[in-house]
Homo-oligomer: A and B are copies of this chain.
């Protein structure tokens, strides 16, 4: 696809795991072209440009000063998001930022002030909203297919606990992972909880418990309309990456199905009607959602409309996740600090 006024030049900030998620999508999307990959360690950036194109840079100014860069995709460590957003916003670039904005409300509020002062198009990458299955649930609910929604459930179980270094830097299970379920259920419900209650325990990896974190978590979200939502999360799951939604309303119920590594139904001497194991983890299960999220970003920027997932969604999800973390420690229902 030739460069044109219709395409957006992208500066990809970061060259770690997520850069390899976004890289192929930036390449295959007809409206996006990868211009720069940034990493203070230039060699790391070069490993990404070798695979997906663009120029490697170790200098943020070089990227933001380039007239070919229309927008940045921020895929750096969480604690750098707010600073990169500020720099890009002041440079007038459109911004797509991996979730979360930050792990503290203070820095998120500072970020929101910056974005208010420098109002560039901004999208937060809550990619699961852009998964076709999850999006179909939201659409059916929004169309009124379920009547008044009264119960929502999100089940997210990961195949195996992450390395302990990852856990340490993650902000804990609620902020790192459950925040996805929180954002998804609030988006589908069309409302945010007044109070939350969370329980958690450490049953898989004692090192996680030693960090004061949990690897099994369950949350109740109490919504203003009287609806109640349930999230259950596990850091280990022998049959793969279990991802299911259930939404129950006055007119019916909707459920999503898991995704398997092959499409067959098997009958044998030991089991019947059996499906294959699940797709291993989020890179396999949600691959499409990252493309679709970038596509939403592209569409919003080129159409001049607000992206469907904003910094305000990010702040709300963080406030809820922090309330969950606090509730789990105190054993009481907690009101999020919206």
Contacts and interface: CB of A to CB of B under 8 A. Distances in A.
Interface string A252-272: 111111101011111111111
A263 to B, nearest CB: 5
Interface in A248-304: 248, 250-258, 260, 262-278
A98 interface: no
Interface string A124-154: 0000000011001100100001001011010
Contacts of A226: 201-203, 216
Interface residues on A, range: 35 or more
Contacts of A253: 239, 242, 266-267
Nearest to A137: B264
Interface in A169-221: 195, 197, 199-204, 216-218, 220
A325 interface: no
A332 B250 CA distance: 28
A126 to B, nearest CB: 19
A232 interface: yes
Contacts of A133: 263-264
A200 B195 CA distance: 12
B275 A275 contact: no
Contact of A278 (B239, B260, B272, B276): B272
A334 to B, nearest CB: 9
A236 interface: yes
A228 interface: yes
Nearest to A202: B226
Contacts of A157: 248
B251 A228 contact: no
A220 B221 CA distance: 12
A164 interface: no
Interface of A: 132-133, 136-137, 140, 145, 148, 150-151, 153, 157, 195, 197, 199-204, 216-218, 220, 222, 225-228, 230, 232, 234, 236-240, 242, 248, 250-258, 260, 262-278, 331-333
Closest 10 CB pairs of A and B: A274-B274, A201-B226, A271-B274, A253-B267, A252-B268, A331-B333, A255-B265, A203-B226, A239-B267, A332-B332
